[in-house]
Amino acid sequence: MKREAVVTKHLMAVVFTLAVSTALVGCAGRINYPSYYTLNLPAPPDPPAAEGVRASVAIREFRSPAYLRQGSIVYKSSPEQIGFYNYDRWAVDPRDFLTNAVVDRLRASGTFSQVKLYDGRADIDYVLSGRLERLEEVDYDGGIQVQVAISAQMTRVATGETVWSNEAIEVGTVAQRNVPAVVSEMSRTMERTIDKLLTPAPAAAAK
């Protein structure tokens, strides 16, 4: 009887081990891995030859609401409700992307003698600061859209005076119901929003 009991316990242990192993394999087969995305804008044109341009500007890193800093792509199913895709994330922080895009476009405008990222030094004439207000998929009011909103202002370093400010918001319509299509439309809408934000150019107020 003792031998039979030992054999029975051994068989039960084997069966339990096989069951756990099967469950783990099944779970492993259902693991979802994150997909990473980045915005994509056309490269700006080469800047024109500088003629009588003397002012320099530094661009601070753009700020944003806390929910846009979580790393996940954001969607809104109502004006009051914010959701996050669990497995669709930004490979590049949109704030960093926007900051560098503004640097590139101000350089391409040829309206400043120097355009650089702000490093805390006061060896420039102006500082441009901004905020990414919105970068989200919108799933209400019919269809799927994306919204991008940006605000910015430029101050004179010597006096602290605000010499220029602007804000821009653009909406784009998503043709297909999938995340890659949403991100592609975000890129196009971001480009339009930046162009709108920088028109008229900050340099016009800096002269």
Q: Find the mean pLDDT for residues 56-68.
A: 97
> What are the residues whose beta carbons fall under 8 Å from the beta carbon of 140, sequence distance 6 or more?
76, 77, 78, 79
Residue 166 tokens read as: 């602007």
CB 112 within 8 A of CB 57: yes
pLDDT given at position 50: 65
* pLDDT 10s digits, 6-17: 444 454 544 444
3-state secondary structure at position 148: strand
Question: Which comes out higher in pLDDT, residue 206 or 125?
Answer: 125
pLDDT given at position 191: 98
Residue 27 has pLDDT above 50, yes or no: no
What is the spatial distance between Cα 15 and Cα 97, in angstroms, rounded to a whole number? Answer: 54
Enter the DSSP assignment of 61: P
CB 167 within 8 A of CB 149: yes
Which pLDDT band holds residue 46 (cuts at 50, 70, 90)? Answer: confident
CB half-sphere exposure, 195, CA atoms < 13 A: 11
Residue 30 tokens read as: 């259902």
Q: Find the mean pLDDT for residues 160-179.
A: 96
The total number of residues written for the chain in this structure: 207
Residue 20 has pLDDT above 90, yes or no: no
What is the spatial distance between Cα 180 and Cα 85, in angstroms, rounded to a whole number? Answer: 12
Q: Measuring CA to CA, which residue among 105, 87, 103 is closest to residue 95? A: 103
Query: Any idea what the Cα angle at residue 197 is, between residues 152 and 167, rounded to 5°?
Result: 55
pLDDT given at position 49: 63
Residue 93 tokens read as: 């922080």
15-19, 69-73, 119-123: which range is least confident on average? 15-19
26-30, 107-111, 121-125, 181-185: which range is least confident on average? 26-30
> What are the residues whose beta carbons fall under 8 Å from the beta carbon of 207, sequence distance 6 or more?
55
